[in-house]
C-alpha cells in the first residue's frame, strides 16, 4: 500500500481538536505519528499515512478543509 509522509501545522483554534483521530475514523487510512511539537497556541505533526492513494488524497483534502496546513514532510524524521 502507498505510504506518504506529511506535515500538519495546526493553528491555535485546532490544537486541541482530535483531527488526526477523526481522519483515521472517516477515511480508510492508517496514521502513524513520527514526530510532533504541540504547544498551547501552535502545533505541528509529521505523519505517515498508509492507504490507497485516492483515500490519502481525500483525507488530506478533508484536513485542509478543517483549516490545517498540509505540507510534504522532509528532513528530520525519525526512521523506523
Number of domains in the chain: 1
Res 27 pLDDT > 90: yes
Residue where the block lists cell 498540509: 70
Close Cβ partners of 49 (under 8 Å, ≥ 6 residues apart): 3, 4, 5, 6, 29, 30, 31, 32, 56, 59, 60
Cα 21 to Cα 8, 40, 41, 76: the distances in Å are 13, 19, 19, 24
CA torsion through residues 30, 80, 72, 67, sign? positive
Within a domain: 21: yes
Asked if residue 77 is part of any domain, the answer here is no
Asked if the structure places residue 78 within a domain, the reply is no
Asked whether residue 23 is assigned to any structural domain, the reply reads yes
Task: Please check whether residue 80 lies inside any domain of the structure.
Answer: no
Domain containing residue 65? 3-72
Global pTM?
A: 0.87
What integer pLDDT is reported at residue 1 of this predicted model? 78
1 compared with 72, residue with greater pLDDT: 72
> Do the Cβ atoms of 71 and 7 come closer than 8 Å?
yes
Predicted confidence at residue 2, as pLDDT, reads 77
**Each residue's pLDDT tens digit, 36-75:** 999 988 999 999 999 999 999 999 999 999 999 999 997 5
CATH code: domain of residue 37: 3.30.70.260
Amino acid at each position: 500500500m502507498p505510504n506518504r509522509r506529511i506535515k500538519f501545522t495546526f493553528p491555535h483554534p485546532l490544537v486541541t481538536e482530535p483531527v488526526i483521530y477523526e481522519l483515521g475514523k472517516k477515511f480508510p487510512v492508517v496514521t502513524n505519528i513520527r514526530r510532533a511539537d504541540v504547544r498551547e497556541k501552535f502545533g505541528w505533526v509529521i505523519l505517515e499515512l498508509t492507504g490507497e492513494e485516492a483515500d490519502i488524497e481525500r483525507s488530506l483534502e478533508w484536513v485542509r478543509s478543517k483549516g490545517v496546513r498540509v505540507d510534504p514532510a522532509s528532513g528530520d524524521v525519525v526512521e523506523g
